[in-house]
Amino acid sequence: MIDFTFTEEQELFRKVAREFAEIKIAPHVPIMEETNRGWDEVIKELAEAEMIAITIPEEYGGLGMGYIARLIALEEIARVSVATAMMNQIFGLGIEPFIKFGTEEQKKKYLPKFATGERLATIAVTEPSGGSDPKGCRTKYKKGNGTYFLNGRKCFITNSHTADTQVVLAVDEDNPEAFTTFVVEKGLEGFKPTHEEHKMGMRGCNTGEIEMKNVSVPAENVLGGEGKGLKVAMTAIGDVGRGGMVGCALGLQQACLEAAVKFSNERILYGKSISNLQAIQFKIAEMKIDLEAGRLLGYRAAAMQDKGERSSNEFAVAKYYTTEAAQKAAKMAVDIHGGYGCMEEFPVTRYLRDSYVLGPSAGTSDIMKVIISRWALS
Amino acid sequence: MLNIVVCVKAVPDSSMTAKLKIDPITKSLPRLDIPLVINPLDSHALEAALQLKKKYSAHITILCMGPPPAGNIVRECLALGADKGILLTDPAFAGADAFATAYTLAKAIEKNGPVDVVFCGMASSDGATEWVGPEIATFLNMPVVTMVREIVEDQGDEWIVKADYDHGHRKVKLKLPAVITVTRNLNQPRTLSFSGILKARSKEITVWDREKLDILAERVGLKGSPTYVTEMANLENRRKVEILEGSLQEKVERLVQILSDAGVV
């Protein structure tokens, strides 16, 4: 028998995350929208509410709550601010390689500080030449005397300027088949965040480029072993990266549905609220169907993840479905609002802009189809 | 160490009042159709206890009477920092008025052991009688101060509290053990945290029914309730607006007429 209900404890997790998002994050949203900044304050709130510590094991100062709990938290945060959920999801993505592939020394050194928010993590894989083909990576490393020298650029890196610790994928200058992930810390000579992006949505969530010019990284900063970089990066992105995007998309779908229901109940046309019109009802029904189906896909994959199973294929399906559904929901929510849907004081405009940033993050829908078709054909 | 009991009630979530339906037969509000939340004023009672626990050594017991789903509310209180939970649940308790509720709660407090302070919210958001706290005090033969907005002195067993009184307040000295009912002015309740929920995993919730409390069936629930609800109705919003027009004299005359008709002057 399959039990589709959340436990009593998971319901409490949702309550914590919802209260946190509504009380602590919502006031920051207008500032983030207006200035494309405000992340310092939001990160402080995330750290104080232990949102960054969810997946970190208890023995390293985290909460050890697992991936269903993470999905619940991201969903509730995204319902209020997709930008904030995105930041938090990428902190989790940066932390994951340490949990899965870190040495005991690396775990002890980094994870307790990630848990408190004293240090912030991200992962840097995507480059100007592309992100979904990590083998096309042009950031190079050269092994010296117990040291590695990194050269290259990474782009579209979430938390590029806010993260203190970046997990960087690079290829051996002398062996194009050898990929390695390195822990690169802010302050190392030759390493710097450069260009900041101005995205159409998720404003206030830092995205940008990083540059490495002869950055000297000690051998102890190799994460997951030399030559194992693709496995490290793709495991984290496949399970945690895609999973996080599912949380962002589900939260946005929920927000769109709530906004559409509220507006359609309040807006009077032909003497009655427009929620009485079948054209509106069908849109709302579609949004609800997509949300329910998306939740089943997402939480099923997260449940597998909590059992220690690989879930990247299941998350590819969930990521494809929920991010597409979020775009559809945002458009329908805007449509239901009519002319008001074009006005910035209504949150649906933000939802529409945010929904289009969900698509390419952690792999576009077309890339998800490539992964899913490989899975189906294998 | 202070032994504190906080009485909490699971009430229908006020954000879902549109879904509340009055049962036409029992004239009560069915509790299981919409989510239950902790009675808002009881959150202030718990916060008072938690602040005392932080200042002094204290043990906080949560006492809640309600259907089994009310156990979630007890678990939430444990996650907020209370030490132990007791859920009083039995079909025989259903339909209890304030008197029968207070009697059952008082019996549970007695069974639980020595107590220094019993905190209650001043009223519940659904029943709102404000009687349960004082009636618990009566059954336990303890002093009670209602509508407490500030605990001025909390050292030793003689406390001074400030309580609302008509349009002002009064300072009351009371000797423990005592019952205190609180208003929302007392404090700002804390919010739940993930680590609080995880800590609550190891905390105990005891479930007691009528037999465990060793009380007669005719003293609890509907049978033990000397009061009953004869009618319950949705409140109609009768606000209306009238903009007075004409000369100043005409407006004043019309205003006097309106106030007179309303029985105000």
In the block, which residue shows the tokens 């540059």? A211
Task: Using CA coordinates, name the residue in chain A closest to B79.
Answer: A12
What is the helix (H) or strand (E) element at residue B51, kind and residue range? helix B40-55
In chain B, pLDDT over 70 holds for what percent of residues? 99
pLDDT at position B241 is 85
pLDDT at position A50 is 96
Task: Using CA coordinates, name the residue in chain A closest to B195.
Answer: A63
pLDDT at position A129 is 79
- Within 8 A by CB and 6+ apart from A224, the residues are A97, A100, A101, A102, A180, A181, A231, A232
pLDDT at position A145 is 85
User: Chain B, 226-265: which have a CB under 8 Å from a chain A CB?
Assistant: none
* CB-side neighbour CA atoms (13 Å) of B225: 14
In this structure, are strands A175-185 and A222-223 parallel, antiparallel, or unpaired?
A: antiparallel
User: Of B29 and B142, which is predicted with more confidence?
Assistant: B142
CB contact under 8 Å between A8 and B193, yes or no, is no
Q: Whole-angstrom Cα distance, residue B55 to residue B39?
A: 25
Most distant pair of Cα atoms in chain A: their distance: 80
A52 interfacial to chain B (CB closer than 8 Å): no
pLDDT digits 0-9 by tens, A177-225? 999 999 999 999 999 999 999 999 999 999 999 999 999 999 999 999 9
A266 interfacial to chain B (CB closer than 8 Å): no
Three-state DSSP at B161 gives strand
Task: Using CA coordinates, name the residue in chain B closest to A52.
Answer: B194
B32 pLDDT more than 70: no
pLDDT at position B117 is 97
B152 interfacial to chain A (CB closer than 8 Å): no
In the block, which residue shows the tokens 């509000």? B29
Q: Whole-angstrom Cα distance, residue A19 to residue A73?
A: 11
Q: If you average pLDDT over residues A287-310, what whole number do you get?
A: 96
The domain ranges of chain A are 8-116, 121-227, 231-377
Predicted ipTM beyond 0.90 = no
Which of the four pLDDT bands, split at 50, 70 and 90, describes residue A1?
low
Task: Using CA coordinates, name the residue in chain A closest to B192.
Answer: A16
In chain A, pLDDT over 70 holds for what percent of residues? 100
- Within 8 A by CB and 6+ apart from A168, the residues are A124, A139, A150, A154, A181, A182, A183, A184, A210, A212
CB contact under 8 Å between B201 and A19, yes or no, is no
Identity of the amino acid at B123: A
pLDDT at position B233 is 79
Average model confidence (pLDDT) across chain B? 92
B18 interfacial to chain A (CB closer than 8 Å): no
CB contact under 8 Å between B72 and A16, yes or no, is no
**Chain A residues within an 8 Å CB radius of B201:** 9
- Backbone angles phi and psi of A284, in degrees to 5: -65, -40
A118 pLDDT more than 90: yes
A222 interfacial to chain B (CB closer than 8 Å): no
A136 pLDDT more than 90: no
Four-way CATH pick for A8-116: 3.40.1190.20, 3.30.360.10, 1.10.540.10, 1.10.1380.10: 1.10.540.10
A77 interfacial to chain B (CB closer than 8 Å): no
How many angstroms away from the CA of B179 is the closest CA of chain A? 30
A56 interfacial to chain B (CB closer than 8 Å): no
Task: Using CA coordinates, name the residue in chain B closest to A69.
Answer: B194
CATH topology for A231-377 is Butyryl-CoA Dehydrogenase, subunit A; domain 3 (1.20.140)
Q: Whole-angstrom Cα distance, residue A246 to residue A299?
A: 9
**Chain A residues within an 8 Å CB radius of B79:** 12
**Chain B residues within an 8 Å CB radius of A50:** 193-195
CB contact under 8 Å between B192 and A11, yes or no, is no
Q: What angle do CA B108, B113, B117 make, to 5 degrees?
A: 85
pLDDT at position B234 is 77
pLDDT at position B31 is 65
Q: If you average pLDDT over residues A254-258, what whole number do you get?
A: 98
Architecture in CATH for domain B2-219? 3-Layer(aba) Sandwich (3.40)
Architecture in CATH for domain A121-227? Beta Barrel (2.40)
Q: What single-letter DSSP state applies at residue A236?
A: I
Q: If you average pLDDT over residues A220-239, what whole number do you get?
A: 93
pLDDT digits 0-9 by tens, B72-100? 999 999 999 999 999 999 999 998 999 99
CB contact under 8 Å between B197 and A13, yes or no, is yes
**Chain B residues within an 8 Å CB radius of A15:** 76, 192
